[in-house]
């Protein structure tokens, strides 16, 4: 039963992660207004927290409820999947820094100033994150079916 709950929480957190990033993509349009800017900051915080939840539930599955730590450590597809997840996390720093720079303007009740170039850059990064998130389930399906196993 615990394995099923861990899997459910992992899948649920993945769905939430994708939904939050999709929402962030939809809301990040110029010209910005104050309510949307505030929403983007909150969504980005929730996105980061949810990424942590994906990582924690995934770790629980690897350590206690999956096919055993040895299976994952000797699976090249798992390494690619985990590496892609980390890469997505590192890339997501770009929008987060942009949104963090809005703090003073938002506290003053002002709309943050975003150049067209910066908006294009952030939009591209969010789209790259979405693309990466779309590849992760493919890697998970391959891994679950035994692809990538390296003989110890």
Domain positions in the chain are 2-144
pTM for the whole thing? Answer: 0.93
pLDDT tens, residue by residue, 43-84: 999 999 999 999 999 999 999 988 888 899 999 999 999 999
Q: What average pLDDT does this structure show over 27-50? A: 97
Three-class DSSP labels, 72-121: HHCEHHHHHHHHHHHHHHHHCHHHHHHHHCCHHHHHCCCCCCCCHHHHHH
């Amino acid at each position: 039963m615990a394995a099923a709950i861990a899997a459910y929480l992992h899948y649920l957190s993945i769905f939430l992660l994708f939904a939050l990033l999709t929402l962030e993509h939809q809301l990040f349009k110029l010209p910005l207004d104050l309510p949307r800017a505030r929403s983007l900051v909150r969504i980005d915080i929730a996105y980061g927290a949810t990424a942590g939840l994906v990582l924690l539930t995934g770790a629980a599955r690897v350590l206690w409820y999956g096919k055993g730590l040895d299976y994952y450590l000797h699976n090249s597809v798992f390494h690619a999947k985990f590496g892609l997840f980390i890469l997505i996390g590192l890339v997501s720093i770009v929008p987060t820094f942009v949104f963090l720079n809005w703090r003073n303007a938002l506290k003053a009740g002002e709309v943050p100033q975003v150049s067209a170039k910066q908006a294009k850059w952030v939009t591209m990064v969010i789209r790259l994150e979405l693309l990466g998130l779309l590849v992760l389930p493919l890697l998970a399906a391959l891994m679950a079916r035994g692809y990538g196993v390296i003989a110890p």
